[in-house]
Amino acid sequence: PLVLGIETSCDETGVALVRGDELLFDAVASSMEEHARYGGIIPEVASRAHLEAMVPTVERALAESGVTLEQVDAIACTAGPGLVGPLTIGTAAAKSLALALGKPLHGVNHVIGHAAVDQLVHGQFPDRVMALVVSGGHSSLLLVDDVATSVTELGSTLDDAAGEAFDKVGRLLGLPYPGGPHIDRLARDGDPTAIRFPRGLTARKDQEKHAYDFSFSGLKTAVARWVETREDAGEEIPVNDVAASFADAVADVLTAKTIAACHRHDVGTLVVGGGFSANSQLREMAAQRCAEAGIELRIPPIRFCTDNGAMIGALGSAVVRAGLPPSSLDIGVDSSMPLTTVSV
């Protein structure tokens, strides 16, 4: 079946056409540049940008993939989690298309889409995979028995997401928004062992209750305090070493907990997704530790890690293939959709 996927959970308007595990075309329009001026995403601005970009982006995806709307078998959209205004625009567009075409609608989970998109790149998942979804809004560890029907949330961040922590540390180091990629770049020329920053929720007392949860706000505070102390003493800040040591702490916790979960649940394949999976320190450490542990590592190319329509087309395609009933045309959006809800 041919699925049209629509993503609007945040600031990217993504539209893709997916047939089975094949991506025909993926069009993304971003309002990021507008938000960069404010140092963060303004939901009202993002909603308006989605409203303006939606139809042109759908038209572009159809034109580039050479299919007509009549050939589309199902419409998939992000129903949550994300920003309510943006989600509402995408869901309304998807409902309109479903209604006009008389085709089924499938509202799906954005975070699970970040994992599902890898099927378009590396093929169908084996029976059981571990998925680490890390972005500006999420850091979650998911046990995926079937991406369309059976996803278990093993853990999540209790405070900041990995990308969010990078952006906050970027701000305190005076870097432009979003700070994540800048820290990544600075860290490449720094010594990751220069400063020993704390690894959140790895102490023995936390292991029982929070074995697979993350916490990055203590780490961010530790970096802030470290920098402040040096600044107060009039010392120069070794920015590269701070960035490298901070990035190392984040990558260390993410990979250590993920690999422990793979061992615990006897999983041989790890899928990493979400915009933060662009991070070099995480990629390097995950590659090295997965190789040591005999775990197959699957990370889609970066354009499929940031928000895009292909991820929603991919998950919609899996949901259609699993034979799940369509969503009702009166579905709402859920800004905090649980990660165990694959589709609504």
Window 78-97: contact mask with ligand ATP (x via CB under 6 A): ----x---------------
Pairing mode, strands 129-134 and 105-109: unpaired
Instruction: For residue 101, give every residue at least 6 positions away whose Cβ sits within 8 Å of its Cβ, in sequence order, or none.
Output: 69, 70, 72, 75
Whose Cβ is closer to Fe ion: residue 213's or residue 307's? Answer: 307
Whose Cβ is closer to ligand ATP: residue 2's or residue 11's? Answer: 11
Residues in 122-141 at the binding interface with ligand ATP, rule: CB under 6 A? 135-138
User: Is 114 annotated in some ligand binding site?
Assistant: yes
Window 75-114: contact mask with Fe ion (x via CB under 5 A): ----------------------------------------
Q: Is 307 in the site for Fe ion (CB under 5 A)?
A: yes
Q: Is 181 in the site for ligand ATP (CB under 6 A)?
A: yes
User: Is 167 annotated in some ligand binding site?
Assistant: yes
Looking at beta carbons, which pairs linking 322-329 to residues 24 or more positions away fall under 8 Å? 322/146, 322/148, 322/149, 324/106, 324/148, 324/149, 326/74, 326/104, 326/105, 326/106, 327/79, 327/104, 327/105, 327/106, 327/107, 329/95, 329/98, 329/99, 329/105
Q: Is 307 in the site for Mg ion (CB under 5 A)?
A: yes
Whose Cβ is closer to Mg ion: residue 28's or residue 129's? Answer: 28
Q: Is 135 in the site for Fe ion (CB under 5 A)?
A: yes
Whose Cβ is closer to ligand ATP: residue 90's or residue 275's? Answer: 275
DSSP string, 144-203: EEETTTEEEEEEEBSS--HHHHHHHHHHHTTPPSS-HHHHHHHHTTS-TTSS----TT-S
The owner of tokens 């303006």 is 52
> Least separation, in Å, of the C-beta of 278 and ligand ATP?
4
Whose Cβ is closer to Mg ion: residue 8's or residue 65's? Answer: 8
Q: Which residues bind Fe ion (CB under 5 A)?
A: 135, 307
